Structure 1
């Protein structure tokens, strides 16, 4: 390694410089511990160079703002995608819940079909509700089965719990059902507890039926189960219809007012069963031609 010539050497040597700096450091340490003049000097220097620090940090702040703005754009886009994915997943979840509920109802209807076909000779046809009335005073629904599917007027309609109504209008590919709660609809029933026979009629309300023309001292109690009696051949016997809700007895009246609530979901179904009519009812509906005797 080449050393500088003696002519170009200036100032003290390295050891002297080291000694001076060590001595200066010791003096500064002693002064800071003993006299405490330097803290005020440091504060003064900090006040003077603060604006310069702010100016020096401006590029960093600008870079941070730009980076945050870019990140916010990515977050907004990601948030939109996540919301869209959430809505799609929510829709699929709702469809899954609807399918599960429909599957459970179909299983219950299948069990009802098996019970009915085992206990009686009645056959059942599965139908789906197409339309429900918007008018709260119109207690009728439309099914997707009609004359083309061998459906006939007067057939009973049930769900997995009990009687829903009766087919009163027939079309080629659809049919209209008058619900059990309609004011003009009545069903022959009997009390399961004591086999008391009567007729239950609709009141125009979805949750209320009425047993009319029963004497005040009739043997009927709240909670009694009303089932079809089978009289008339339209409804097979033994199908649940309603549960007695309350009984109002007024000594001044000759008849008691018996209010019951339907067992079937007359306003909550999507699929129902259409029961076949008894053979005696079919014979009454079919007009037999008259044969006139031949003249000799």
Structure 2
């Protein structure tokens, strides 16, 4: 059959392979040896090779562009990742340093306030004990705070409370470990004061919401905005000379007998941290009564007169 005869003759021309691999290997080896010998023997081939290299250089650049682009892209993205990591580390370090700076500033402020409190306590002639404000009382109708000193610390109701600037308020309720202080701005608080400029005495009362009022002063009273009010000491609670408030506004109306005088507290009434609880002033002892002279009788007086 034709098919059998064709199979016996070998593969069809379409599937014919070229020279044998061994023959190709020998051919290329011989060609390589020939080129090496010619390169060593004939220097003119160097110029040919240089010309071929110059001609093929653009093609080499084009072929190397994807490889070079991939390499540069890898370096670029690696740099981006490294810079992002360094940026994150620097941000964390900056936040940590900012927290340290804030804490340091807070501690410095506390140290200054404590030092000022100690200086204030040394200037007063009354015993004092330091306390810290824990929180503000949860009462929208009053202005009160709670401090960390109570009966176990010999705190009593009625004691004055000051900070490094001036008067804050008065202890009104005492518990075993804490005490409640009513601020000067409370509407139920009143304090005897005097104007530092001229010594004019008056009663300063709380008006709520951080304000105070000087009451019962005639419309022609010598009080001006900017005047400083000090404790007079007449109420027996606050030592004399402590800063209390500053006059902010004075309204005089001839239709009213009294002037309306608004004041603002000087001490940190709404921003306390550390405070001093003042003890009671020790009153000087009363002078002893002079011994009474014995009364002489009438006869004795006459006898002495006769002599």
- Fold-level match, TM-score > 0.5? yes
- Which of 1 and 2 has greater Rg? 2
Superposed CA offset, 1:243-295 (max 9, x none): 22221111111111111221111112210110012357xxxxxxxxxxxxxxx
Q: TM-score, normalised by structure 2?
A: 0.70
Distance in 1 (CA, whole Å) between partners of 2:97 and 2:203 is 50
What's the counterpart of residue 213 of structure 1? 216
Q: 1:68 to 1:165 in 2, by over 3 A?
A: same
Residues 142 and 187 in structure 2, CA contact (< 8 A), matched pair in contact too: no
Matching residue within 142, 145, 152 for 2:146: 142
Q: Which runs of 5+ in 1 are unaligned?
A: 1-7, 22-44, 281-296
Partner residue in 2 for 1:85: 93
Alpha-carbon distance, 1:193 to partner: 2.6
Deviation of residue 57 (structure 1)?
1.3
CA contact (8 A) 2:191 2:235 kept: no
Deviations 1:75-106 (A, max 9, x none): 22222222211111111111011111111111
- Structure 1 residue 133 displacement after superposition: 4.8
For residue 78 of structure 2, what is the aligned residue in structure 1? 70
Corresponding residue to 2:251 among 230, 248, 251: 248
Q: Deviations over 1:82-139 (max 9, x none)?
A: 22111111111110111111111111111111111xxx2x111111111125776541
Q: Mind listing any 5+ residue stretches in structure 2 that lack a counterpart?
A: 1-36, 48-53, 284-307
Normalised by the length of structure 1, the TM-score is 0.73
Match of 2:183 in 1: 179
Is the counterpart of residue 124 in structure 1 residue 128 in structure 2?
yes
Q: Which residue of 2 aligns with 1:55?
A: 63
Root-mean-square deviation (CA, aligned residues, Å) is 2.7
Of residues 260, 274, 278, the one that matches 1:275 is 278
Distance in 2 between the 1:107 and 1:190 partners?
Answer: 27
Match of 2:200 among 196, 200, 224: 196
Mapped contact 1:152–1:170 kept (Cα < 8 A): yes
Residue 224 of structure 1 is matched in structure 2 by 227
Secondary structure of 2:180's aligned partner: strand
What is the aligned length? 238
CA distance in 2 between partners of 1:263 and 1:199 (Å): 16
